[in-house]
Amino acid sequence: MTSMRYFFSRALPIALAALAVSGCSVFGGSENPFPPAELERFDSAFKLKKVWSKGIGRNSSLLRLALGPASNGDVIVTTGPKGRVSAFDAKTGRKFWSKKTRMKLAGGAGVDGSYVAIGSTDGIVALLSLNDGSEIWRKPVSSEVLAAPALAPGQVIVRTVDGKITSLSTADGSELWINQQSMPRLSLRGSSAPIVVAGAVICGFDNGHLVAYDLSDGDALWDVLLAPPSGRTEIERMIDLDSAAVIVGKDVYAISYQGRLAAIDGGSGRLLWSEELSSYAGIAGDASSIYISTQDSELVAVSNASGREAWRSDLVLNRDITGPALQGDSVVVGDYKGYLHWFDVYTGELQARARVSGDRISAAPIVVGDILYATSDSGKIAAYQIVRPKRKR
């Protein structure tokens, strides 16, 4: 398989070893049956300015943790696998604080104007003060937390790997409500992060369902199955929604592994369209298109009105790319060698490239204002601005 993720069985305590994209073949030889695309020479469309970079503590490339940066617009928050949480000024990179929580983190943080929420693989959720990193509370939940929690007024929303979504009070961590989806026996090791929008929280699950819950009481507002499982084996029938949904206007877009990309009316849950596409890395969207990092590490753009493909790039094929991020008129992905690649949103043409480090980009970059932020498994965060050439008069 081209997926570099671990598989996880709730019935058997066995995980298949992840394949390194540059490593050995599962067929016994040294030749890789899915060789990563070589980086081609190209003419850059613009220059990149590294605004700042910092060390944040080494991640483990073997664990495949999605420890990407998070932000509330002014502050960038990073997390490490051993529980270090750090906060930086988004513009200058000045470190505000850094705390050792001693929690085993796997899915990044949720951030708003007051709090930082984190969850651990030991099933612990903690709430920190954004002001100084001091711990407000920590509480146990039902299972592992592999995705960043979401913050809503008075609430921390947590998705656990057993299919539960739980709301905890920001005041004291007490449970406000809980809901649950039935989970398949076998799934990818990862979870879709919940997102909060217009009085609802939207989250995807390993059974292929995308569900909107009422923030006030946790009741399901709508529930959509993106694609039913198919195939004879449990591996063939995996249809996880491992990446967060994307909101564009009033519509919700989501993608499943070995399934479909779908557009859903956010108010009613009505399916608007769906196309056969597969991803565990993620998607991004703007007013005209949805951008997909496929399971084979191709980058694809489709119309958000119809799902019709606009362009497809194989320049990063099998390079274990992250989910995409949008920076101006560019869509950006990271890869397994620490490179960031900028593509034209309209044509798919490669525009620029930068290297954060020699190790994997840990998760999808984020963009705040006109600056893009990315973290690598070597323990670096870097911030980049696009510098376009001045037009001649």
Higher pLDDT, 23 or 253: 253
Q: What is the three-class DSSP state of 48?
A: strand
What tokens does 93 get?
Answer: 């990179």
Residues in contact with 159: Cβ distance below 8 Å, sequence separation at least 6, in sequence order: 145, 147, 149, 165, 191, 192, 193, 194, 203
How do residues 212-265 score in pLDDT, each as one tens digit?
A: 999 999 999 999 998 887 767 777 667 678 889 999 999 999 999 888 999 999
More confident residue, 98 or 15: 98
pTM (two decimals): 0.91
Q: What is the pLDDT of residue 65?
A: 79
pLDDT of the residue at 234 = 75
The SS3 of residue 52 is strand
Do 296 and 281 contact (CB within 8 A), yes or no? no
User: Does residue 21 come out as left (phi exceeding 0), alpha (psi in the -120 to 50 range) or beta?
Assistant: alpha
Which amino acid, one-letter code, is at 204? G
Contacts of 125 (CB under 8 A, 6+ apart): 117, 118, 119, 138, 139, 140, 141, 145, 149, 156, 158, 168, 173
Measured between alpha carbons, how far is 312 from 334 in angstroms, rounded to an integer? 17
Determine the distance from the C-alpha atom of residue 68 to the mean position of all C-alpha atoms in its chain, rounded to a whole number: 8
CB 331 within 8 A of CB 325: yes
Per-domain residue ranges of the chain: 44-58+281-393
**Average confidence (pLDDT) over 159-181:** 97
Whether 9 has a pLDDT exceeding 60, the answer reads: no
- Tell me, what amino acid is at 366? I
Instruction: Report whether 61 contacts 67 (CB < 8 A).
Output: no
Using a pLDDT cut of 70, give the percent of the chain over it.
88
Quick one: how far is CA 359 from the chain centroid? 18
CATH architecture group of domain 44-58+281-393 = 7 Propeller (2.130)
pLDDT band at 391; cut points 50, 70, 90: low
Residue 309 is encoded by which pair of tokens? 């493909």
pLDDT at 57: 81
What gap in Å lies between CA 191 and CA 336, rounded to an integer? 20
Q: What is the mean pLDDT of the chain?
A: 89
| Alpha carbon distance 156, 344 (integer Å) | 36
